[in-house]
Structure 1
Amino acid sequence: MNGELKKPSATKIFMEGPEVVRLYFKTEKLTFGTSQLNPGQTGAVDPGHPDSHEVFFVVRGTVLLRVGDVYHEMHEGDAVLVPPAIPHQLTNIGLDIALVSFSLAPSEF
């Protein structure tokens, strides 16, 4: 494979609470997608992934990412690494729609 282009319209779309999730890629080694939240919305609690690290990167907006008992205020360009098996949850604390990309490896979905 020399690369694969995937546009938002070609993704798998599903809801996790009020979070609009788009799953772009899922292989044995990697999962990549985005989560979108409207202002004031809080997504579902993700119980964590037993064998995977997950990275959250804020593409647009301002979010509060709860990782276990720790809260991270994240702005555009910020990233957080979530260790395996730690529950986490996103809240849009900004005034605009928030778009956060996520990636976990190895893939567990």
Structure 2
Amino acid sequence: MTETPNAGPPTPLPAAPAPPTVSVVGPGEGETVLLGTTRMRILEDGGTTGHRLGIAESVIAPHTPGPPQHRHAGHDEGFYIVSGSVRFTVGDEEHDAVAGTLVVVPPGAPHTFANVRDEPAVMLSTFTPDPYVRYFRELRDLHAGSEAVTPEAQLRLMHRYATEPAEAPAPGPS
């Protein structure tokens, strides 16, 4: 029987990857962002999902107008109505979305939403990928600043997140 010479210490095995982190956000937890009469609770800012997905819950006060109609070039948005009713305007069409309705807005589609009813509406929103969550944080900070918020300042913020007013032409193919 022939012995094999010792070739040195064995090569260490690569370290096992860290297990995925599971995020659990309970009632009343998460980051609260106040945007006028709308209270947004950021449930997932992308930190757990590799920045593939952001999720927020919004409570929209009665008779709250939404943002100007706009379009996003960089992300999809999903809106699930938990309670109440939210009016979505997509181009020239209006859709009254009641509890249990899902609205998905792909990049380039003009849209806005508002609560035109007498009761609050609760809406769960998704952003894929997640950077638009940071937009809401910056919008909050812009409105909390000591100077009046100008339309130009709001447009600059929108541009940083690949968002344009709906009057602008739809983005062409890249």
- Alpha-carbon spacing, 1:32–1:77, altered in 2? closer, same or farther (3 Å): same
Q: 1:1-109 to 2 correspondence within 5 Å? A: 1=20, 3-27=22-46, 28-45=51-68, 47-109=70-132
Higher-helix-fraction structure: 2
2:131 corresponds to which letter in structure 1? E
1:29 corresponds to which letter in structure 2? R
Which string of whole-angstrom CA distances, capped at 9 and with x for unpartnered residues, describes residues 50-79 of structure 1?
A: 221111110000110123333211000011
Number of residue pairs aligned between Structure 1 and Structure 2: 109
- Larger RCO, structures 1/2 (Cα 8 Å, 6+ apart): 1
TM-score by length of 2: 0.55
How far the C-alpha of 1:29 sits from its partner, in A, is 0.1
Which structure 2 segments of 5+ residues have no match? 1-19, 133-174
**Percent identity (aligned):** 25
- Alpha-carbon spacing, 1:68–1:22, altered in 2? closer, same or farther (3 Å): farther
Which structure 1 segments of 5+ residues have no match? none
The structure number with the bigger radius of gyration is: 2
TM-score by length of 1: 0.84
